[in-house]
């Protein structure tokens, strides 16, 4: 489950923010902001993707770098939402 | 307003000198459809394509002085020609014409190359002094009118547009990779560099003097600001006095820009600046003022509501042209053909439709509000830089970054974002505060993101080239002693304004339809006053153009005088990904064309195009990259791939 989430998130980020192939992927913990991969519109793209792909609803207060700024953070956030929904 | 071209030297080409100058002028004939003229001497060629605006009967060019020892080919206007002429006549000089061009000849006889210091105007000219065997090229202070030159085999060739130089046998179009890197950083090449290898532009406020002893290029005017802490008082009394001075000077700058033997209209965007110019013009025009504007079908970009409010307030006779995304796609290749450089926004394309509208209505001259944002500090970037400094003083504050939301009320999606993202997106932590480019670092960083698409070969060619370092080194020595707002204003006024705004969005798209733009805010007296005004009176808290709004209160309805700035924007990548985009426009984004040009990584571009076609959101970075890549490919197709065959179609609609 977690591996599946990570695969989907990684693919979305690679397809939409990474573009260049000579950049050999992105590390799990790498900051998307520091890598210059994300701007104010990309955040909305990311939120729209998470909501449609994982059936989440994101509150404004959840749209913060702590939840979204690396693949690891995004996966943890998605898994956390699912855990809350399942409980 | 016109086009000029010519040479100094002995071309020694298969084509005769006169025919060569004719060919060069034909390439810029769209700038001056009313008449052509040529003067070819032993080592000089001057050509002229004329758009008749002043002295319709006797203003033929090239024009000579009384003994025919000095010849001139002149593009532009001298707005203070009435005063200069009176002054010269008082000194006993006689005039053969009533044209403003003759003023330069007469002033040159008295002052030599310093003649330009007396002129208030927008111009680019070539002057031949046969006795001294001296060619003088000159360009106006702000860079309204263009002038390019190149050397081949000891001969100097010059012209209003590069396409005329490409008519010279042996001169071909090759993209300068450094220029491309600069465009993908700043939006424009750093003058004198142009997009074309081995072709220079004469910088604004500069003269070039070439004679048998050599060539000298030097400035005759510089933009200067007071030293930090020496900006003068900004209390209520100072504010009232400055507001009055601004109003007085703006009215005078507008008044002398109405001088023409043909009717003068005005562009109306709906914002403060163009409204102010139109209101000022109305004071001096007896008949009903004619105004023109653009409308967009997307509410995100459209300002017609504000335009109509201004039309009602001023009682102008107004015409507008609607610009759709499909129109932008269709006009974009022409914007590149006329602008002659890759660009990162589509904004010039709709302006072609606007100049065409003015042209169809019989107008050769329009006033616009361009320049107010640079001179009186209207751009969001100035507020953004101020906020970034404010945040940098308390990096842990969660409240300070919320102020960034107030800067861009017109950007959808920004309002929902958290302080940390806002701080990150607006570069609250970017750059040491003492970096001379501090104000511009976030914009430059976002723009440079588009370089991710450069091909491996292009990266190798560029090596470790650092455009920011070159810009830092080109700044004047006094720069470090100015207030941060003055520094930011200087970067906009001395670089972006001539490099992009007045060129790609100004002269080129207007002259494509033989329309001359006139800019009261760029009268050098207004520019010098704007530079002297204390920063607190320009950017008051986060209220941009504060002092201009004070001045505007007497000329405009309060609702318009107090309206927050909305920048002129047009749909970017989205114009090219819908079903209405003509295939031939985006064909150059195909793998074969990309590989042939060699500038971009075809794989990465393919993914970007796919993303833009599928995505609901297209962000700054993707828009910038998409438009930059498309325009570079169109540039390649138009100039480099087509050789010297640069026919201009004049009909767009």
All domains of chain A, ordered by start, with CATH? 2-86 (1.10.1200.10)
Between CA B516 and CA B254 the distance in angstroms is: 15
Which of B193, B219, B245 is the last residue in one of the domains?
B219
Chain A interface mutation, best of B458, B601, B604, B619, highest count of A Cβ atoms under 10 Å: B619
Residue B460 has pLDDT above 70, yes or no: yes
Same domain, B141 and B24: yes
Give residue A23's pLDDT band: very low, low, confident or very high (50, 70, 90).
Answer: low
Average pLDDT on A8-24 reads 78
Same domain, B146 and B18: yes
Same domain, B275 and B177: no
Which pLDDT score is estimated for B645?
Answer: 42
Which pLDDT score is estimated for B445?
Answer: 86
DSSP letter at B54?
S
Best CA proximity match to B355, nearest among B159, B577, B514: B514
Same domain, B242 and B192: no
Q: What are phi and psi of B209, to 5 degrees?
A: -115, 120
With an 8 Å Cβ cutoff, is B620 touching chain A?
yes
Other residues' Cβ atoms within 10 Å of the Cβ of residue B444: 20
Which of B219, B248, B272 is the last residue in one of the domains?
B219
Residue B393 within any structural domain of the chain: no
Contact B388, B403 (CB under 8 A): no
pLDDT, tens digit (0-9, with 9 covering 90-100), for B605-630: 998 999 888 876 777 888 999 999 99
- In the three-class reduction of DSSP (H, G, I as helix; E, B as strand; rest coil), residue B348 is classed as helix
Same domain, B63 and B169: yes
Between CA B123 and CA B146 the distance in angstroms is: 8
Other residues' Cβ atoms within 10 Å of the Cβ of residue B602: 18
Give residue B354's pLDDT band: very low, low, confident or very high (50, 70, 90).
Answer: very high
Angle formed at CA B233 by CA B230 and CA B239, multiple of 5 degrees: 135
For A34, name the nearest residue in chain B, comparing CA atoms only.
Answer: B424
Which of B420, B445, B622 comes nearest A36 by C-beta? B445
With an 8 Å Cβ cutoff, is B602 touching chain A?
no
pLDDT, tens digit (0-9, with 9 covering 90-100), for A64-87: 889 999 999 999 999 998 888 776
Tell me how many domains chain B contains. Answer: 3
Same domain, B358 and B240: yes
More confident residue, B276 or B404: B276
Contact B352, B634 (CB under 8 A): no
Contacts of B450 in chain A (CB under 8 A): none
Same domain, B89 and B14: yes
Residue B296 has pLDDT above 70, yes or no: yes
Residue B647 within any structural domain of the chain: no
Residue B425 within any structural domain of the chain: no
Q: By mean pLDDT, which of B98-112, B155-169, B417-431, B522-536 is the weakest?
A: B417-431
Between CA B389 and CA B394 the distance in angstroms is: 9
Same domain, B202 and B174: yes
Average pLDDT on B162-166 reads 98
Contact check, Cβ <8 Å, A40/B452: no
Give residue B649's pLDDT band: very low, low, confident or very high (50, 70, 90).
Answer: very low
Which pLDDT score is estimated for B306?
Answer: 87
Give residue A45's pLDDT band: very low, low, confident or very high (50, 70, 90).
Answer: confident
Which of B539, B561, B583 is the last residue in one of the domains?
B561
Which of A19, A43, A64 comes nearest B608 by C-beta? A19
Same domain, B14 and B140: yes
How do the residues of chain B divide into helix, strand and coil, expressed in percent and rounded to 5?
45, 15, 40
Give residue B411's pLDDT band: very low, low, confident or very high (50, 70, 90).
Answer: low
Residue B486 within any structural domain of the chain: no
For A59, name the nearest residue in chain B, comparing CA atoms only.
Answer: B416
Q: By mean pLDDT, which of A29-43, B98-112, B180-194, B198-212 is the weakest?
A: A29-43
Residue B228 within any structural domain of the chain: no
CATH code at position B48: 3.60.20.10
Same domain, B516 and B598: no
Residues in chain B: 653
Q: What are phi and psi of B563, to 5 degrees?
A: -65, 140
Residue B307 within any structural domain of the chain: yes
Which pLDDT score is estimated for B128?
Answer: 98
DSSP string, B399-418: SGGGHHHHH-TTSTTSTT--
| Average pLDDT in chain B | 92
Contacts of B411 in chain A (CB under 8 A): 40
Contact A40, B424 (CB under 8 A): no
Which of A15, A41, A63 comes nearest B416 by C-beta? A63
**Domain housing B349:** 236-376+493-561
Best CA proximity match to B472, nearest among B431, B430, B432, B437: B437
B620 Cβ neighbours under 8 A, 6+ residues apart: A39, A40, A41, B446
Q: By mean pLDDT, which of A9-13, A34-38, B367-371 is the weakest?
A: A34-38
Which pLDDT score is estimated for B455?
Answer: 95
- In the three-class reduction of DSSP (H, G, I as helix; E, B as strand; rest coil), residue B91 is classed as coil
Within 13 Å, how many C-alpha atoms sit on residue B57's CB side? Answer: 3
A87 Cβ neighbours under 8 A, 6+ residues apart: none
Average pLDDT on B387-403 reads 82
For B443, name the nearest residue in chain A, comparing CA atoms only.
Answer: A39
Which of A20, A21, A41 comes nearest B619 by C-beta? A41
Which pLDDT score is estimated for A22?
Answer: 58
Give residue B650's pLDDT band: very low, low, confident or very high (50, 70, 90).
Answer: very low
pLDDT, tens digit (0-9, with 9 covering 90-100), for B321-346: 999 999 999 999 999 999 999 999 99
Which pLDDT score is estimated for B416?
Answer: 67
Same domain, B256 and B330: yes
Instruction: Report CA dihedral (B551, B554, B558, B560) to the nearest 10 degrees.
Output: -60
pLDDT, tens digit (0-9, with 9 covering 90-100), for B46-66: 999 998 777 666 778 999 999
Residue B439 within any structural domain of the chain: no
Which pLDDT score is estimated for B642?
Answer: 66
Contacts of B416 in chain A (CB under 8 A): 60, 63
Residue B647 has pLDDT above 60, yes or no: no
Same domain, B516 and B592: no
Contact B454, B600 (CB under 8 A): yes
Residue B408 has pLDDT above 90, yes or no: no
pTM comes to 0.93
């Amino acid at each position: 489950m977690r591996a599946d989430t990570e695969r989907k998130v990684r693919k979305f980020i690679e397809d939409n923010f990474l573009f260049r192939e000579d950049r050999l992927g992105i590390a799990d913990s790498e900051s998307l902001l520091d890598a210059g991969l994300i701007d104010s519109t990309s955040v909305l793209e990311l939120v729209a993707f998470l909501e449609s792909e994982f059936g989440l609803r994101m509150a404004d207060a959840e749209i913060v770098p702590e939840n979204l700024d690396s693949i690891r953070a995004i996966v943890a956030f998605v898994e956390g939402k699912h855990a809350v929904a399942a409980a | 307003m016109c086009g000029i071209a010519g040479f100094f030297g002995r071309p020694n080409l298969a084509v005769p000198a006169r025919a060569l100058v004719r060919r060069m002028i034909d390439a810029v004939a769209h700038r001056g459809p009313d008449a052509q003229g040529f003067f070819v001497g032993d080592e000089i060629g001057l050509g002229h394509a004329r758009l008749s605006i002043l002295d319709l009967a006797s203003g033929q060019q090239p024009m000579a002085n009384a003994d025919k020892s000095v010849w001139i080919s002149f593009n532009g206007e001298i707005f203070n020609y009435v005063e200069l002429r009176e002054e010269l006549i008082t000194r006993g000089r006689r005039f053969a014409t009533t044209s403003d061009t003759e003023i330069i000849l007469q002033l040159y006889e008295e002052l030599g190359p310093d003649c330009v210091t007396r002129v208030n105007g927008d111009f680019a000219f070539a002057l031949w002094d046969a006795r001294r065997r001296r060619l003088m090229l000159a360009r106006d202070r702000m860079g309204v009118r263009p002038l390019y030159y190149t050397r081949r085999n000891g001969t100097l060739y010059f012209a209003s547009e590069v396409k005329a130089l490409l008519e010279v046998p042996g001169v071909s179009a090759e993209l300068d990779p450094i220029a491309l890197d600069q465009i993908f950083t700043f939006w424009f090449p750093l003058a004198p560099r142009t997009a074309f290898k081995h072709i220079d532009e004469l910088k604004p406020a500069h003269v070039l003097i070439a004679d048998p002893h050599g060539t000298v290029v030097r400035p005759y005017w510089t933009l200067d600001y007071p030293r930090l802490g020496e900006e003068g008082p900004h209390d209520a009394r100072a504010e009232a006095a400055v507001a009055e001075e601004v109003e007085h000077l703006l009215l005078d700058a507008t008044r002398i820009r109405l001088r023409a033997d043909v009717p003068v209209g005005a562009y109306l965007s709906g914002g403060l600046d163009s409204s102010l110019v139109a209101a000022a013009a109305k004071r001096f025009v007896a008949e009903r003022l004619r105004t023109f504007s653009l409308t967009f079908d997307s509410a995100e970009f459209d300002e017609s509501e504000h335009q109509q409010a201004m039309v009602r307030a001023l009682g102008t006779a107004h015409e507008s042209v609607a610009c759709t995304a499909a129109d932008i796609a269709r006009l974009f290749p022409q914007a590149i053909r006329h602008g002659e450089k890759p660009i990162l926004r589509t904004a010039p394309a709709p302006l072609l439709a606007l100049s065409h509208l003015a042209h169809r209505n019989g107008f050769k001259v329009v006033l616009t509000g361009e320049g107010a944002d640079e001179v009186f500090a209207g751009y969001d970037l100035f507020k953004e830089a101020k906020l970034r400094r404010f945040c940098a003083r308390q990096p842990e504050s969660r409240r300070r970054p919320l102020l960034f939301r107030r800067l861009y009320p017109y950007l959808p999606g920004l309002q929902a974002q958290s302080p940390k993202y806002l701080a990150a997106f607006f570069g609250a932590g970017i750059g040491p505060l003492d970096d001379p480019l501090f104000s511009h670092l976030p914009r430059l960083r976002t723009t440079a993101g588009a370089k991710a698409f450069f091909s491996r070969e292009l990266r190798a060619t560029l090596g470790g080239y650092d455009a920011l370092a070159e810009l830092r080194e080109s700044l004047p020595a006094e720069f470090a002693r100015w207030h941060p707002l003055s520094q930011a204003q200087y970067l906009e006024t001395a670089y972006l304004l001539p490099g992009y705004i007045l060129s790609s969005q100004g002269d080129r798209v207007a002259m494509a339809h033989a329309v001359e733009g006139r800019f009261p805010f760029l009268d050098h007296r207004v520019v010098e006053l704007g530079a002297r005004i204390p920063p607190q009176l320009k950017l008051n808290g986060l209220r941009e153009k504060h002092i201009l709004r004070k001045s505007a209160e007497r000329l405009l309805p309060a609702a318009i005088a107090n309206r927050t700035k909305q920048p002129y924007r047009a749909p970017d990548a989205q114009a090219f990904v819908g079903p209405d985009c003509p295939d031939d426009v985006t064909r150059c984004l195909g793998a074969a064309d990309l590989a042939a040009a060699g500038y971009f990584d075809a794989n990465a571009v393919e993914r970007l195009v796919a993303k833009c076609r599928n995505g609901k959101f297209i962000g700054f970075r993707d828009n910038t990259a998409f438009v930059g890549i498309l325009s570079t490919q169109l540039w390649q197709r138009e100039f480099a791939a087509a050789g010297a065959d640069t026919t201009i179609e004049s009909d767009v609609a």
